[in-house]
């Protein structure tokens, strides 16, 4: 039911005039638009014919007074906060990097936003906003609370209840899968010295980014013409490097190894190698012409 924001005493007077002489007369005598008076008549029809009674008017005014006091307290609180902030008495917000990474790590373990928010004393939507980097700053109090919850939960993996009924959902496993898709690092990927460092990277990414050595046997077999052997990226680049050193062109490397000429070009550019002769027949033609 729609709440009436105008004093119900005015509503009562306008309705009495409208019942006696019409909405236009109510508009002239009370200053309330006749469209508004018509809406009040519809609201009365949805309630009861005597609305608003003196009791309704008294209750509305008491509620309005309480709302005014509440708004006044809110304004006073905001004003006091601005004063303390101006005087430097409010702690300055901090970067959210560590707070965001701690929440992401808990999410990677399977802890849901409602579970984390319950321990933090905030809503699950706020947990999600901090975790996804929506906030550019967080208060020191929030950072400290997240750190305490992280220390409590970071070594505990939540377990889903057995699914015994249709519609049961493994919410923790679903959260872990979602965190994996988002690339969130688990707690073991961070150290206490690096989790708050914006330039630091989680350990699992560092291991993934580490250069992989090539397989000498696979490289030799492919150079010898065995195109059935599987090559990793590092193996293929080593093949291109060795054959390029021997003076082979991109086309000749393709013929000998089965690696496409386009891929040879990419690997050569990655290795910073200049082009040899474009292909054997062009080189032979230039030699014959000279």
Residues 6+ apart with CB under 8 A from 13: 30
Q: Does the structure show a pLDDT above 70 at 2?
A: no
Residue that wins the pLDDT comparison between 3 and 175: 175
Does 188 reside within a domain? yes
E strand or H helix that includes residue 35: helix 34-46
Query: What does the alpha-carbon distance between residue 278 and residue 248 come to, in Å, rounded to a whole number?
Result: 9
Query: What does the alpha-carbon distance between residue 204 and residue 10 come to, in Å, rounded to a whole number?
Result: 69
Residues 6+ apart with CB under 8 A from 198: 95, 97
3-state DSSP call for residue 205?
helix
The tokens describing 131, both together, are: 């975790």
User: Which residue, chain included where needed, has tokens 């936003």?
Assistant: 113
Same domain, 191 and 132: yes
Question: Exposure of 112 by Cβ count < 10 A (0-12 exposed, 13-18 middle, 19+ buried)?
Answer: middle
Query: What does the alpha-carbon distance between residue 130 and residue 220 come to, in Å, rounded to a whole number?
Result: 52
Last residue of a domain, one of 53, 86, 119: 86
Does 3 reside within a domain? no
Rounded average pLDDT over 114-134: 92
Residues in the chain: 290
Same domain, 153 and 237: no
Give me the domain span that covers residue 54.
8-86
Q: Does the structure show a pLDDT above 90 at 77?
A: no
Q: Does the structure show a pLDDT above 70 at 214?
A: yes
Does 254 reside within a domain? yes
Last residue of a domain, one of 86, 115, 147: 86
Same domain, 116 and 202: yes
Q: Does the structure show a pLDDT above 90 at 200?
A: no
| Tens-place pLDDT, residues 151-180 | 999 888 888 777 656 666 788 888 888 988
Does 289 reside within a domain? no
| Tens-place pLDDT, residues 85-119 | 777 777 888 899 999 999 999 999 999 999 999 99
Same domain, 82 and 142: no
Rounded average pLDDT over 185-206: 81
Neighbours of 51 (CB within 10 A): 17
Same domain, 144 and 222: no
Same domain, 199 and 103: yes
Q: Does the structure show a pLDDT above 60 at 42?
A: yes
Does 198 reside within a domain? yes
Same domain, 186 and 247: no
Q: Report the domain count for the chain.
A: 3
Lowest mean pLDDT among 141-145, 189-193, 285-289: 285-289
Maximum mean pLDDT: which of 11-15, 68-72, 111-115: 111-115
Does 14 reside within a domain? yes
Query: What does the alpha-carbon distance between residue 163 and residue 165 come to, in Å, rounded to a whole number?
Result: 6
């Amino acid at each position: 039911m729609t709440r009436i924001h105008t004093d119900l005493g005015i509503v009562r007077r306008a309705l009495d005039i409208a019942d006696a002489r019409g909405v236009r007369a109510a508009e002239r005598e009370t200053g309330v638009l006749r469209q508004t008076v018509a809406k009040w008549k519809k609201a009365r029809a949805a309630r009861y014919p005597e609305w608003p009674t003196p009791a309704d008017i008294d209750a509305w005014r008491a509620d309005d007074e309480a709302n005014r006091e509440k708004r006044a307290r809110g304004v006073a609180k905001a004003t006091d906060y601005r004063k303390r902030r101006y005087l430097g008495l409010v702690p300055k917000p901090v970067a959210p990097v560590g707070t965001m990474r701690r929440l992401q790590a808990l999410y990677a373990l399977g802890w849901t936003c409602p579970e984390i928010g319950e321990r933090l004393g905030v809503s699950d939507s706020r947990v999600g906003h901090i975790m996804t980097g929506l906030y550019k700053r967080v208060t020191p109090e929030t950072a400290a609370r997240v750190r305490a919850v992280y220390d409590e939960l970071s070594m505990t993996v939540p377990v889903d209840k057995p699914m015994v009924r249709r519609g049961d959902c493994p919410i923790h496993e679903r959260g872990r899968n979602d965190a994996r898709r988002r690339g969130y690092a688990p707690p073991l990927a961070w150290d206490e010295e690096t989790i708050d460092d914006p330039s630091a990277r989680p350990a699992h990414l560092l291991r993934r980014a580490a250069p992989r050595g090539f397989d000498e046997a696979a490289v030799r077999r492919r150079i010898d013409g065995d195109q059935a052997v599987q090559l990793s990226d590092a193996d293929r680049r080593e093949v291109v490097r060795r054959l390029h050193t021997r003076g082979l062109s991109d086309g000749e490397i393709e013929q000998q190894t089965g690696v496409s000429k386009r891929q040879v070009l990419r690997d050569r550019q990655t290795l910073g190698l200049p082009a040899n002769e474009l292909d054997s027949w062009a080189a032979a033609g230039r030699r014959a012409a000279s």
